[in-house]
A and B are shown apart, each in its own frame.
Chain A
Amino acid sequence: EPEVTQTPSHQVTQMGQEVILRCVPISNHLYFYWYRQILGQKVEFLVSFYNNEISEKSEIFDDQFSVERPDGSNFTLKIRSTKLEDSAMYFCASRTTGADQPQHFGDGTRLSIL
C-alpha cells in the first residue's frame, strides 16, 4: 500500500540553526500538509499546500517556517533560526482529489533542538 515517507526519522539541531524536514507524499496525491505534535500535546495543523502554493496556515506557521515542493515528488518544511520550543514530532500528510478523502500521514520526524 502506498505510503507517505518522511526523512530523517530523528533530527538533532543546535538552537538558531536552520533545519529542513523532507517528505515524499503518496504519488497521485495533490494536497499536502504539515502537522506537529509537541510532547504530551495535541497534533496541531501547521500548513496546507496545493497547486504549488500555501492554501492555509495556522498562527504557528510564522515567518520562521516555509514549505516548498522543489520537484515532482518531495515536499519540504524549512524552519529557520530554530528555537527550543520547536522541538516536536513533525508529521507530513497528503490526500488525493475528491470530496471527503482522508489525509494519510507519514511516520514523522522527531526534531530535537538543543
Chain B
Amino acid sequence: GNSVTQMEGPVTLSEEAFLTINCTYTATGYPSLFWYVQYPGEGLQLLLKATKADDKGSNKGFEATYRKETTSFHLEKGSVQVSDSAVYFCALTATGANSKLTFGKGITLSVRP
C-alpha cells in the first residue's frame, strides 16, 4: 500500500538556520505530494504541493521538489523564523484513488530566538 516516511524528530533550530525535513514515499503510479503544517492550537493547513515529477512547490520561503528517482519530497527553508515553529506533515494522494491523503507521522520543529 501507500506510505510516507518522515525523519524522526523533534528538530530544534536557532533563528535564521537552514532547515531540511526529509520525506520519502511509497506509492504506485504517480502520486501528488503535499506538505501540511499545524501551528499550535490550529488545524492542518496546506503549506505546498507538487503534482508531478520534478515539480517544485513553494510557499512562505519553504520549498520541496518532487523527486521520482529517489521517491522523495524533502522540505527546505533557507532561514527559519520563530514563527515557523509547528508540526510538519508530509502526505500523498494516489492517482486513481478518491484523493484520500496518506500522511507521515509528522515532525515537530522548534525555532529559538
Do these two chains interact?
Answer: no
